[in-house]
Chain A
Amino acid sequence: GAVVSQHPSRVICKSGTSVKIECRSLDFQATTMFWYRQFPKQSLMLMATSNEGSKATYEQGVEKDKFLINHASLTLSTLTVTSAHPEDSSFYICSALVKGPGSEKLFFGSGTQLSVL
């Protein structure tokens, strides 16, 4: 099946620094990618929808200046957590949408555990 590669799988950073997470579709092109966040014992929450070549659409309550999303190509979307703080520590997951004739499929990355000290 289609593979979505998310990197890094785990990152630890100091408070105030920025962290970039990459989401790549390895064997298909994805015009739309999604970014989710999951806090311990809570559900995955959609943060934003990323469309290739256009600005991302953020969900209510998600700071677009803090969580910068870039979808510059059909195979890569990046999420940059700027000026990270301990409360940003979470599990971040991306997914990529593939549209075919009369159908669509969604493939997920394996997630990135961010710990901000």
Chain B
Amino acid sequence: GNSVTQMEGPVTLSEEAFLTINCTYTATGYPSLFWYVQYPGEGLQLLLKATKADDKGSNKGFEATYRKETTSFHLEKGSVQVSDSAVYFCALILNTDKLIFGTGTRLQVFP
């Protein structure tokens, strides 16, 4: 079946550190891939997306590249801020249907 696996958290970093949150997927067909973010007390927001192999999604300094050969979509940011503290969800979608989410990774950034 279709599924998303992402690294367990929490990920704890100091401000300005480099961030990587790993995400791999299993899918029948060619999914579109997403990262969603949930800030404390807020709803889920789309952070970035990539719809085909080798696409790079980017937003707010975050990047992720759709790697078909490794079925991965790792989230990276060169210098995190305290305001990036949130829960990050990797997700896929097939045929514009329902999203399939990973379990989420909590990021905590300390000054």
Tell whether A pairs with B.
no
- Which positions in A face B, CB cutoff 8 Å? none
